[in-house]
Each structure stands twice: as C-alpha cells, then as structure tokens.
Amino acid sequence: MIRAALLILACIVAAPAPALAEEPSKEDRAEIDACLALAAEKAKKAPPPKDELEEAPGAEGRLAAAAEKAGHDRSSCVGALAKTCIQKEGNTSNAVLNECYAREAAVWDLRLNSAYRAALAKMDKEASDNLRKTERTWIAWRDAACRQPEVTFKGTMAGPMQEWCVMDLTARQALWMAGWAE
C-alpha cells in the first residue's frame, strides 16, 4: 500500500508541467503578428502620448487618454486571434472558447519565451538573475491566479474563464518582456 502510494507520488512529481498548448500554427502566429504590426504602424502616426502633467485630471481624463491610446497600443491585440477563431466557429460553446483561447495563449507563450531569451542575452548577470527570478515568480502567480475560477465555481463555466486568464496574462507578460528585449 505504501509502495503504491510512493509510486503514484513519484509519477506525479516526475510528470512534466502542463504546456499551454501545442505549437501554434503559422496562421495563428501570423494573426497576432499582423495585429502587432498594425498597432506599431498606427503608433508611428499617433500624436505623442500625454504624460501625467498633460493628461486631463480625474477619471474622465484617464479614460479619454486610454481610449486615445487603444488604437495603437500593442495590448489591444490581446484576444485578436481568439475572437477571430470564435467568430469562425460561429458559437460560444465552452469547447470552442477553450480551444480558441488556448490557441492564442500558445502564440503568446511562444512570443514570451522568445522575448525572454532575447532579454536575457542582453543583460548582465545581476539583471538576468533578477529577470529569471521575476519570470519564475510570475509563472507561479499566473498559474495560481488562473486557477481561481476552477476553485470558485467548480463547474464547466470555469474552463473558459481559466483559459482566457492564461491567454490574457501570458499575452501581457509577453508584451512586457518584449520591452526588455528591445
């Protein structure tokens, strides 16, 4: 009995961490690349962003500045592939949502890993050590944060919420990491 329990525990510990999804297709990568390229193109034509002293004060001022920036902000591309995928499928079943969010998460995960390697290559030892620590901590936080729907709702609706969370947080981390790689 104890031997069996130890064998099961050994298998669990030795099992690889779950991947976000299979390798993203060329078409899926192109969808995100096109959105990011369009955002960059629009950013070149946009007026310079207002800083804290130029932006109108209060909630209205903040929302107006955010709306002005949204048309050329790279973070506006989060969800672009998933939305196209969902619309192509023509329904919002949990299975479709899960698949579409996971497909986009895989693209962002690929971009994140690429940007992470590029950032590490540019940094000195202290900075790269801190970036590794930051990324490990972020992964643990993302995984715990995205598990919240599952432990809160315990039903089928948790799946799409969890997949969206992984996609969204991975995309934002990829964009943040790209800033360090540039």
Tell me whether residue 83 is in a domain.
yes
What pTM, to 2 d.p., does this model score?
A: 0.84
Tell me whether residue 178 is in a domain.
yes
**pLDDT mean across residues, the chain:** 88
Tell me whether residue 89 is in a domain.
yes
State residue 175's pLDDT score. 98
Number of domains forming the structure of the chain: 1
Q: According to the 3-state scheme, what is the secondary structure of 67-97?
A: HHHHCCCHHHHCCHHHHHHHHHHCCCCHHHH
% of the chain surpassing 70 pLDDT: 88
Tell me whether residue 39 is in a domain.
no
pLDDT at 20 over 80: no
Phi, psi angle pair for 161, to nearest 5°: -65, -40
Q: Assess contact for 20 and 105: CB atoms under 8 A.
A: yes
State residue 50's pLDDT score. 82
Quickly state the pLDDT bin for 94 (edges 50, 70, 90).
very high
| Tokens coding 18 | 């779950």
State residue 62's pLDDT score. 87
Q: Supply angle C-alpha 178, 84, 90, rounded to 5.
A: 155
State residue 166's pLDDT score. 98
Tell me whether residue 57 is in a domain.
no
Q: Where are the beta strands (DSSP E) in 49-177?
A: none
State residue 9's pLDDT score. 37
Q: Domain of 78?
A: 70-182
State residue 72's pLDDT score. 87
- How much is the average pLDDT of 151-176? 96
Quickly state the pLDDT bin for 12 (edges 50, 70, 90).
very low
- How much is the average pLDDT of 87-111? 97
CATH number at residue 136: 1.20.1270
State residue 10's pLDDT score. 38
Q: Give CA–CA dist 44/39, Å, rounded.
A: 9
State residue 61's pLDDT score. 86
Tell me whether residue 3 is in a domain.
no
Give the closest residue to 180 by CA, choosing from 146, 110, 132, 140. 132
Helix axes 26-45, 94-122, angle to 10 degrees: 70
pLDDT at 11 over 80: no
- How much is the average pLDDT of 71-85? 95
Q: Give CA–CA dist 132/128, Å, rounded.
A: 6
